[in-house]
A and B are shown apart, each in its own frame.
Chain A
Amino acid sequence: MSGLSALTLAEARDGLKTGDFTSVELTQAHLKAVEAARPLNAYSCETPEKALEMAAESDTRIAAGKAGAMEGLPVAIKDLFCTQGVLSTAGSHILDGFRPHYESTVTRNLWDAGAVMLGKANMDEFAMGSSNMTSHYGAVENPWKRKDDRKAKLVPGGSSGGSATAVAARAALAATGTDTGGSIRQPASFTGIVGMKPTYGRCSRWGIIAFASSLDQAGPMTRSVRDAAIMLGAMAGFDPRDSTSVDAPVPDYEAVIGGSVKGLKVGIPKEYRMEGAPPEIDALWQQGADWLRDAGAEIVEVSLPHTEHALAVYYIVAPAEASSNLARYDGVRYGLRIPGSSLQEMYENTRAAGFGQEVKRRVLIGTYVLSAGYYDAYYLKAQKVRSRIAGDFRDAWDKVDVLLAPTAPNAAFGQGEKMDDPIAMYLNDVFTVPASLAGLPAISVPAGLSAEGLPLGLQVIGRPFDEETVLRAAHVLEGAAGFDAMPDFIAGG
């Protein structure tokens, strides 16, 4: 059945419910799309047999009237999630052949809700990157093209670039992503889809390969805000196995879709007006504020004075945590081992061959900022500035309900660009990192096209655990923007 892969998650769910098609049919259509999308390299591992098996079981449950919230809906799983018996590599050579004997809590929640796994989505190695150029499994290509340059291959952003591409190219109804400094939101913006990072502690980190523990958070990547609400509801929940998981009830997120923003106070953080940012980014941001005002929201300028330092804080804290989190990849218990004449040589050879350039760079930076004599100057200082950044947001919540900002300072760029200047690459996350540092929920909604014809997202940031207001505002933005542009490459045909 053609056309099935073009549906939104909500449409597909409703179609399954009314019996218009079965999950097996829906899944078969998607498996074809996954195959067709291979040139984009969105998947690092396809699991068609598993998908069909899960779909058949879903059809049985649907027939028995026991459908879960994601029943029968085929999705892609970022390869940072450990999936039982299925290759889980974090896009790294060092996890060669690793098949966990356990299932991450978030994917377990999805399967319990009836979702169907199409495969593992390619990603920047260990989620370190904003271009999806650092994967051991090769770069992912953005299905979008510049309107005047159909040849140039563009990046989908990162690190959840495979997830973003799969969803944008209609090679999955939705996908899981993880966001450490913008890894859901920035690729969502680059590929014209919706990406949401919930509050830190909302989704369990158990079974998600750690990059930076105090920042990592899983979230949905979908083609509509409603879909994000549906999928987040299935992913989220308290997990006693994650000490940072918050024991709070998960609201019915979909119920807020369609709610009004009348009287909602929307903050415009003035420090997000970056010097040298393309004027079209500012213009779209202004447009977004106007849309919300027209819908009855009150626009308030607010100040987040320490924003300009967020990126520097992030590039100390995240590498520091990563340097420690990645110490376990030592060639002893799983993954790659490169022999050496001694244990130390085996360690050094394994880690030299197993980690890519960007991962090594960050592990070394992280090692340095934690090392004797530098801890106070770098790591401790960064954590203090981080407190200030979180404090800025707390002050803002006295005045406003949500914040509106651009998601990224630019549209998708060409593969290979910015590769020789790490800092230029890091600047991609300048608008997403502050909310990550403070652990706040934030969503990127496709809101317009750049002059080159590439999607641009707007970001809504909310109070801790107030995903509902974020979704409500995002849905209003989505409606006002009426974003219906299609990428160059559509896998479903």
Chain B
Amino acid sequence: MTMLEGRTGPWEVVIGLEIHAQVISNAKLFSGASTEFGAAPNSQVSFVDSAMPGMLPVLNERCVAQAVRTGLAIGAKINLHSVFARKNYFYPDLPQGYQISQYEEPIVGEGEVVIDLDGGASKTVGIERLHLEQDAGKSLHDQSPNQSFIDLNRSGVALMEIVSKPDMRSADEASAYVTKMRSILRYIGSCDGNMQEGSLRCDANVSVRKPGGELGTRCEIKNVNSLRFLRQAIEYEAMRQIEIIEDGGTIDQQTLLFDPGKGETRSMRSKEEAHDYRYFPDPDLLPLELTPDFIEAQRETLPELPDEKKARFMADYRLSPYDAAVLVAERETADFFEDVARGRDAKLAANWVISELFGRLNKAGKDVTDSPVSADSLGGLIDLVADSTISGSIAKKVFDDMFETGREAAAIVEEQGLKQVTDTGEIEGIIDKVLADNPDKVAEYRGGKDKLFGFFVGQTMRASHGKANPQMVNELLRRKLDG
């Protein structure tokens, strides 16, 4: 367990997360306006979204299906009966004066998610609930000195609010949880997980306690939009709370914003006053009733999920938990790996994908979907290594070339004459030359300086431009030097 060290000893951090995930759908939760990102202000707004008098909400089937699919993907209980409720508060980007959400009876109940931690360890985090709700519009405060501008394009877009139990104990665990949840959402296509565009946002509830002690007062950090900020915010907030308590103070329950510039959390002034949301069932909407058939139909649309895939990769390909976890994080990556591994040594394939391909992609700021080296091409390269056409070290050079030019391995090997030399006579010729050029070293070796063997290997390989089969070089050298 990760502890934070204070003046008075170790402290345990207790973290619960609320994720707001934008549902992938064409139209909004309760209106037929488009959900597309980045349109001109107020152009994707219906009279329903702008809360014109007399306008009424009608539920989007796909959004319901997405919530159910997500619930199933986290092994959660799907509630056959759920209720939409109004959460009442005034804000200019909330045109109705209330948000339609779910309160006492959400569509999805308890579930759980296994998160992947460092060194292949894992941990189960409980899910409290998942409910559907409307997003608000957007207020722009920096366009004019004395006005805020309101754009309602986001108003009414469907969100899933996923509430975890307070099961996380460190910023790392919190980050691993969001990563895993994002992975699941992207696998099933219920949310694109784009944190920059705000399709995935999270609120962190943070409290601290002495190990095994009672839960402390929690503070909620709102709307964190990157994993890095999430870690920073949690770490800062936990230390802030520890210092207050150790100085004899108490924690006030409050809502905070993380300021990435300063690396600090600060109180949200506008939300300071106590809220009284006056939730009640929305009389414009009837209770949502699902049939077991509907739920089964949704279950059938689910792909293999990250955990299932990870288990399969470990069993079928004998991959380590770490490698498997890395490969299944994104569905596209896992598919890419499987394409590479098909009919080949899976461990070798995993190594190539994880260390070589991911390394290069990261550096180039690309991901597997726009990789210059296709799965087939990478497989072709691995085949050349496997059948000893080229050596492992040559293969790395060939790979660099493939990444730059997008060409096939075989073509590069052919054109640059990189084929491994396996002809005994040819290698013997090179060795003879190396030995002839270094008579003093030969004498030293034969006089007992065994360490020099490596020198001869190196020289031979260099003379062959790396193409000599290393095993054969070893054998022949030994025969010539020792024999």
Contacts and interface: CB of A to CB of B under 8 A. Distances in A.
Interface string A58-92: 00000000000000000000000110000010100
Interface in B263-317: 276, 278-280, 282-286
Given A102-B47, A324-B86, A328-B96, A213 B284 contact: yes
Interface stretch (B55-63, B119-127, B409-417): B55-63
Contact of B95 (A95, A324, A333): A333
Given A333-B51, A370-B88, A328 B56 contact: no
Contact of B98 (A88, A327, A334): A327
B56 A242 contact: yes
Most buried by A among B92, B98, B280, B282: B280
A379 B86 CA distance: 14
A104 B284 contact: no
Nearest to B48: A241
Contacts of B88: 323-324, 327, 370
Nearest to B275: A372
Nearest to B57: A243
Contact of A330 (B54, B59, B90): B90
A332 B92 contact: yes
Contacts of A372: 276, 278
A240 B58 contact: yes
Contacts of A333: 50-52, 95
A38 B7 CA distance: 83
B285 A243 contact: yes
Interface in A286-329: 320-321, 323-324, 326-328
B279 to A, nearest CB: 8
B53 interface: yes
B365 to A, nearest CB: 41
Most buried by B among A207, A212, A320: A207
Nearest to B273: A344
A28 to B, nearest CB: 31
A298 B173 CA distance: 74
A324 to B, nearest CB: 5
Nearest to B88: A324
B96 A101 contact: no
A207 B95 contact: no
Interface residues of A, number: 43
A102 B53 CA distance: 10
Contacts, number: 98
Interface in A242-285: 242-244
Contacts of B284: 210, 213, 243-244
A207 B285 contact: no
B150 interface: yes
A205 B56 contact: yes
Given A90-B53, A332-B95, A324 B286 contact: no
A321 B283 CA distance: 8
A207 B56 CA distance: 8
Contacts of B96: 327-328
B47 A206 contact: no
A101 B54 CA distance: 12
Nearest to B47: A102
Given A324-B86, A327-B98, A371 B278 contact: yes
B260 interface: no
B95 A328 contact: yes
Contacts of B148: 343
Interface string B84-95: 001010101001
A100 B278 contact: no
Nearest to A332: B92
A200 to B, nearest CB: 11
A88 B286 contact: no
A332 B285 CA distance: 25
B6 interface: no
A88 B276 CA distance: 32
A187 B283 CA distance: 26
A164 B153 CA distance: 42
Interface in B80-109: 86, 88, 90, 92, 95-98
Nearest to B30: A243
Most buried by A among B50, B54, B285, B286: B54
Contacts of B282: 213
Contacts of A100: 47, 52-54
A208 interface: yes
Nearest to A80: B54
Nearest to B54: A207
Nearest to A89: B53
A165 interface: no
B280 A324 contact: yes
A367 interface: yes
A240 B56 CA distance: 10
State the majority secondary structure of interface residues on B. Answer: loop
Contacts of A206: 54-56
A214 interface: yes
Given A320-B280, A324-B86, A343-B92, A330 B53 contact: no
A139 interface: no
A440 B436 CA distance: 110
Contacts of B53: 82, 88, 90, 95, 98, 100, 209-210, 328, 334
A265 to B, nearest CB: 31
Interface string B120-164: 000000000000000000000000000010100000000000000
Contacts of B285: 243
A370 B56 contact: no
Nearest to A326: B97
A332 B150 contact: yes
A90 B284 CA distance: 19
A21 interface: no
A101 B50 CA distance: 12
B91 to A, nearest CB: 9
Nearest to A216: B283
B98 A324 contact: yes
B97 A328 contact: yes
Nearest to B152: A333
B278 to A, nearest CB: 4
A177 to B, nearest CB: 15
Contacts of A88: 53
A375 interface: yes
Contacts of B90: 327, 330, 347
A214 B51 CA distance: 18
Interface string B57-74: 111000000000000000
A213 B283 contact: yes
Interface in A329-365: 330, 332-334, 343, 347
A470 to B, nearest CB: 24
A90 B52 CA distance: 13
A330 B47 CA distance: 16
B95 A243 contact: no
A241 B56 contact: yes
Given A321-B283, A332-B92, A332-B150, A371 B54 contact: no
A241 B55 CA distance: 9
B97 A324 contact: yes
A205 B54 contact: yes
A90 to B, nearest CB: 7
Interface of B: 47, 50-59, 86, 88, 90, 92, 95-98, 148, 150, 276, 278-280, 282-286
Rank and list the top 9 A-B pairs by shortest CB-CB distance, nearest first. Answer: A327-B97, A370-B278, A213-B283, A214-B283, A209-B53, A207-B54, A328-B51, A372-B276, A82-B54
Given A206-B56, A244-B286, 4 more contacts: A323-B278, A328-B97, A330-B92, A370-B278
Interface of A: 81-82, 88, 90, 95, 98, 100-102, 104, 205-210, 212-214, 240-244, 320-321, 323-324, 326-328, 330, 332-334, 343, 347, 367, 370-372, 375, 379
20 contacts: A98-B53, A101-B47, A102-B52, A207-B55, A209-B53, A210-B284, A241-B58, A243-B285, A320-B280, A321-B283, A324-B88, A328-B51, A328-B95, A330-B90, A333-B51, A334-B53, A343-B148, A367-B278, A371-B276, A371-B278
